[in-house]
Structure 1
């Protein structure tokens, strides 16, 4: 592990992250459609920019999730098109990066390259692409592609998709005038296309690549392509192990071990004292974990309506009615093993004396950092100096004003510890993340195959 003295030049990066679940205090807003209001979104993003956040990261949901065969009303999953929103934000911000989640399974390479390349030019070099892939037939039905891609092929397909996008961007020389260029041709396993690039390069050359895969395949994919990766590891030891593993994979892929920025997702709750912060955190959890949302966690595993379930009593006596949880309604909660998970929950509840409500609270992810501004700053400084993380994908606890305390109280403490920037490093997302030329442009690879 690199010593702390060697790591003192490291800087922490914050991204503003919009999750799918109701992690904001909804009860404080009289209008549910405010989460689709461009002016409200702009206000939150401007707060992030005031706090020198590196980027706003927008997840994608290509189909509304369901619960027991009906629309899931516990989570906002429909959302504006990220690139349309970013065109709006690019005109109303100056420095913050704009990272869109775009799916390689359902979007055609040429269309994706053109759209996100346009945002990169329009914003002056602030675009990023979170590369995701899926084999969900349920989501694919919206694109007339239900179930066309086998699960085992999703990363092979994604690699070819990204290579085509990269080749399209590379087809426009750095110094080319805005005049028609020669057509680009590609033929391989999944695609056979002839295309003519229509967009020049931005000041950062091309959008920054992000990725979020957790499997070995996903980590190897990140080592080959990604410049940022979204992580679920917040515990200090686990975060270090994840960073070390990625470092080894990067070296094996011919890259420096520190050539990728790691961003766990979390939230931060601050208070005047540690006790005050814990009280605020508990209040927040009470607000977002409504009775309906708590009951839905159990219903997803049991596979039936449990509206009569006493949340302050034990789990249902009867076992789940399903043997295998359907993947057709969005994200699963039981890893496709309802019977086994129900038994584990029973044993845990008996051991700890949990009611349904306290069990769900125990299982639910909690805020990663709770404390005074100085205390949280000390912990974050330890993480970044040790090389465990490079930044955080921060979910605000309210909307649209949920970042003000972080910007006004926490960031000055981080700057005092010399682990957070005092100004933007440059005009592009790549500069502000301290990244060099995109990895694909550092090596000569002939991606153009004869047709």
Structure 2
């Protein structure tokens, strides 16, 4: 029996300033002005995307005591941006990354419940943890948590937030029959949680929101992260963009759901995906090469090499050969913030491998970083990209994709205008929204 075609889920990631964005392109706009967010969100909604996704960094990266060049314009607050976007969109889901290591359940639950009310049921929470003591310096607790404690705290954080979301069990505000005034039932919003990480009790002051709870995203890829997603998440933000890796990840995570009393359709798997779109496949390949060169300036190439060498390499020519000295594995790392510090477990071996690659291909430092860095997931004409995305979804490498354009805010426009109509013609993507909430868009049930 032939399986019906799966419906593709599409979302848009406003990338901010990072190694995906080509901020130097003349078409690039502000990463912080509200008009950029509005343009991006309205394009996604015009294309009937499921949601817009915002990442968040709680501290700017530093290298050699200076703010990293791709972080220089800063990061606006997630909740503020999403609440403002709720007023200028009607159906688009609004997903924010909020950290469970440096926040508190009551505050976060109250903010998401409020956003869900303001947006008519379109909020989603990407639950993340943080290992980074450098980031922790921005918070009064400071420090960091070991990995096992991070996930322990995250699980209890989410469980506590769910208790708060569920503390309003129905129509808790009712009209007094005699006076006609509104009164609250005695147990409305009452909660008490006594656990390892949180010991709180009181009354939650936001009534149950349109979705009951926000859609829960999770982005971890470790064993703990996969199990956490299988037990708790509605969707997982995957980093596995190739067909084979995507299929392996998909099988693994979906196979874990049954032991948590869940069905495969209860969890959506959505890898991030970059793209290079042009009129022909050949033009797209050339565009992809140009994008990669734009993404790696000379200064960026040197900074990337410094992650591995752990040395100040500013005296080196990015268009010259790699350093012949070995990485410094004894000193404190000169890069601080986010995951780059831990990307390379064996710097000496990595440096040796890169020297061999550079010598074999006659690559400069910049050439090496360009050719060993991330490549676009989808490259081609509108027809090629539409066909490839559909093939990945039908082959169970993903349930859809979170698209990350290289230009903000206009980088999504071509995909919306040229690729989405082809997917709609194939019958694998909606032509209009059929519901009002993000759970409707993703085909997820409202929690009881």
Q: TM-score, normalised by structure 2?
A: 0.92
Structure 1 runs of 4+ with >6 Å offset: none
Aligned length: 435
Aligned to 1:189: 196
Aligned to 2:379: 370
Q: How does 1:349-428 map to 2 (within 5 A)?
A: 349-428=358-437
- 8 A Cα contact 1:220 1:249, kept in partner: yes
CA deviation after TM superposition for structure 1 residue 10, in Å: 2.5
Q: TM-score, normalised by structure 1?
A: 0.91
Out of 339, 344, 350, the residue aligned to residue 331 of structure 1 is 339
Aligned to 1:60: 56
Aligned partner of residue 8 in structure 2, secondary structure? coil
Structure 2 residue 20 is matched with structure 1 residue 11 = no
Aligned to 1:346: 355
Aligned to 1:304: 311
Aligned to 2:243: 236
Q: How does 1:98-109 map to 2 (within 5 A)?
A: 98-109=94-105
- 8 A Cα contact 1:324 1:337, kept in partner: no
- 8 A Cα contact 1:135 1:151, kept in partner: yes
- 8 A Cα contact 1:19 1:395, kept in partner: no
Aligned to 2:257: 250
Distance 1:328 1:25, change over 3 A: closer
Aligned partner of residue 83 in structure 2, secondary structure? helix
Distance 1:323 1:393, change over 3 A: farther
1:375-406 Cα distance to aligned partner (Å, 9 max, x none):
11111111111221111111122122111110
Distance 1:293 1:410, change over 3 A: same
Distance 1:77 1:37, change over 3 A: closer
1:87-125 Cα distance to aligned partner (Å, 9 max, x none):
110011001011111111111100010011100111000
How well do the aligned residues superpose, as a CA RMSD in angstroms? 2.0
Distance 1:76 1:435, change over 3 A: farther
- Unpaired stretches in structure 1, ≥5 consecutive residues: 442-451
- 8 A Cα contact 1:36 1:80, kept in partner: yes
- 8 A Cα contact 1:266 1:392, kept in partner: yes
Aligned partner of residue 184 in structure 1, secondary structure? strand
CA deviation after TM superposition for structure 1 residue 249, in Å: 0.7
2:150 and 2:446 mapped to 1: Cα distance? 27
1:309-354 Cα distance to aligned partner (Å, 9 max, x none):
2333321011123336637433325434322321222233334443
Structure 2 residue 124 is matched with structure 1 residue 128 = yes
Aligned to 1:139: 135
Larger mean CA deviation between 167-176 and 427-436 belongs to: 167-176
